[in-house]
Amino acid sequence: MIEGLSRLAVITVFAEDLAATKAFYTDVFGLKVVHEDDASAVVTLDNLMINVLAAANAPEVVAPSSVGDADAGPRTLFTIEVNDADAVCAQLAEHGVRLLNGPVDRPWGRRTAAFADPAGNVWEIAQVLEG
């Protein structure tokens, strides 16, 4: 293991519609904006930050790689542990969030449901099931 690579601090997501994606994280997740400019909005969870970066500005941070097309489909899944998946799904529905799947009990001992932000980044909630 390379020393110093054990603490995730920021996840950067690329968004074609910066305003809608920022609103998703502030309205649905209830997160606070800690930095904002014309190219990005950074929101904070308890243990890390999400940098919503305008897709037009993304090439400079991934060069010489290219930024994937918005229509390419999900390439990542972010999971948030919750106490009650069904209750969280009901709250997501109240915010107009459409589930991609779930809630469903998984063979690995979690009850999960997945949904996407306006930029297509997929999130999963996961409730640990008892024994």
pLDDT in tens, 98-116: 999 999 999 999 999 999 9
Mean pLDDT on 23-52:
96
Secondary structure element (H or E) that encloses residue 46, with its range: none
Q: What is the pTM of this model?
A: 0.85
Query: Is residue 9's pLDDT more than 70?
Result: yes
The distance of Cα 115 from the centroid of its chain, to the nearest Å, equals 9
Quick one: pLDDT band at residue 6, thresholds 50, 70, 90?
confident
The pLDDT of residue 131: 75
Residue 32's pLDDT is 97
As a whole number, the mean pLDDT across the chain is: 93
CATH of 1-71, one of 3.40.50.1370, 3.90.10.10, 3.10.180.10, 3.30.390.30: 3.10.180.10
Looking at residue 74, its pLDDT comes to 83
Domain locations in the chain?
A: 1-71, 73-131
Whether 59 and 66 have beta carbons less than 8 Å apart is answered as yes
Alpha helices in 1-131 (DSSP H): 18-23, 59-62, 85-94
Domain 1-71 matches domain 73-131 at the CATH topology level: yes
pLDDT at residue 2, rounded to an integer: 67
CATH number of 73-131: 3.10.180.10
Q: Alpha-carbon distance 131 to 40, whole Å?
A: 43
